[in-house]
Amino acid sequence: MAAPTTTGPPHSPAVQDGASDGASDGAVDGAFDCALDGAFDEAPVAAMAHQIRQDVIRMAGGPEGAHAGGSLSCADLMAVLHARLLRPGDAFVLSKGHAAPALYSALVQLGRLPADELDSYAQPGSRLFGHPAHDLPGVEFATGSLGHGLGLSIGLALAELLRGGDRRVYTVLGDGELQEGSVWEAALLAGHRKLPNLVAAVDRNGLQITGGTEGCVALEPLDAKFAAFGWQVRTVDGHDLAALHEALQPSPDGPVMVIATTVKGRGVPFLERKVAGHYAKLKPALVQRALAALARAAKGEPS
């Protein structure tokens, strides 16, 4: 495990609600109970991330396709959050709402959605939209429009502090999403208020629908920018489960921003680092090819 690189603000040292609510509709018995104390057990988290990727590919093989690339890149991040960090009552906001397939898979594995409902993804009459709707269990806000999740999360975190509670708020943003001005307005407020119960993560896969982020609107140096706004910044390999678990811990010194360096389309060679993989509608042969590659990767074999 590579330790996360931490950057503090210049003046200080260097939604989706909570974990499983007890339903057990197909969830692995005990595998995904939160384990905030004791040693980090990587195996069940890796199993959840692998299942997320399999489910994403199957949804991309449906009649409407799916946002595959960014769902695959954040699968490890989603698994660590949902399997090990979100406590009952905590809030989660998927600001990059197009990664809904990864969220839906996690909710199925926690027993909050029936597994067979994934087959209806993005189809007429389904409640599993291409972006999450607020009437789903585990979803605080609909987040189809980019740039709003961080501000909504700050509202939840502020409200919790005002009522004297200990609820934590986690949010996941896309890196292309950071080109929205509303993100930086929100980041400025969070740093000013030094919110100790807010943890945000950027899925830094370097690609957006129109190409590389740095060629569209350059974002770097991201760590220095967030640190200048008063955040505790931690840069980490977004596919290292133990490092993610360490980096995603809250800080009493203020809001935490985790910059998770990831690979778009992770685990599926013909989608990895491909702009065309942002949204994919896979034919059956490609679905089988992708699932085979994921199976090999899970066994540590060359893909």
Instruction: Return the SS3 of 195.
Output: coil
Distance CA 194, CA 192 (A): 5
**What pLDDT score was predicted for residue 291?**
97
Distance CA 34, CA 280 (A): 33
CB 201 within 8 A of CB 248: yes
| Residue 298 CB partners (closer than 8 Å, separation 6+) | 46, 50
Helix axes 284-298, 42-60, angle to 10 degrees: 170
Whole-model pTM above 0.75? yes
Structure tokens at 185: 């307005």
Closest CA to 112 of 138, 78, 82, 148: 138
CB 137 within 8 A of CB 150: no
Residue 23 has pLDDT above 50, yes or no: no
Give 104-129 as a 3 state SS string: HHHHHHCCCCCHHHHHHCCCCCCCCC
Residue 223 has pLDDT above 60, yes or no: yes
Distance CA 260, CA 164 (A): 30
Residue 240 has pLDDT above 80, yes or no: yes
User: Does domain 8-21+42-298 sit in CATH 3.40.50.970?
Assistant: yes
Residue 10 has pLDDT above 50, yes or no: no
Question: Averaging pLDDT over each range in 59-63, 75-79, 295-299, which range is the top one?
Answer: 75-79
**What pLDDT score was predicted for residue 191?**
98
Instruction: Find tokens 């996690």 and name the residue.
Output: 106
Average pLDDT, the chain: 89
Instruction: For residue range 207-216, list pLDDT tens digits in order.
Output: 998 999 999 9
Instruction: For residue range 69-119, list pLDDT tens digits in order.
Output: 999 999 999 999 999 999 999 999 999 999 999 999 999 999 999 999 999
Instruction: Return the SS3 of 70.
Output: helix
Q: Where are the domains of the chain?
A: 8-21+42-298
Structure tokens at 255: 């809001």
Given the DSSP bridges, would you call strands 232-237 and 211-212 parallel, antiparallel or unpaired?
unpaired
Angle among Cα 101, 103, 106 to the nearest 5 degrees reads 110
Confidence of residue 1 (pLDDT cuts 50, 70, 90): low
What single string gives the DSSP state of each residue in 61-105? TSTT-B-HHHHHHTHHHHHHIIIII--TT-EEEESSGGGHHHHHH
Distance CA 56, CA 62 (A): 10
Structure tokens at 72: 């695959």
CB 214 within 8 A of CB 206: yes
Phi (first) and psi of residue 289, to 5 degrees: -65, -45
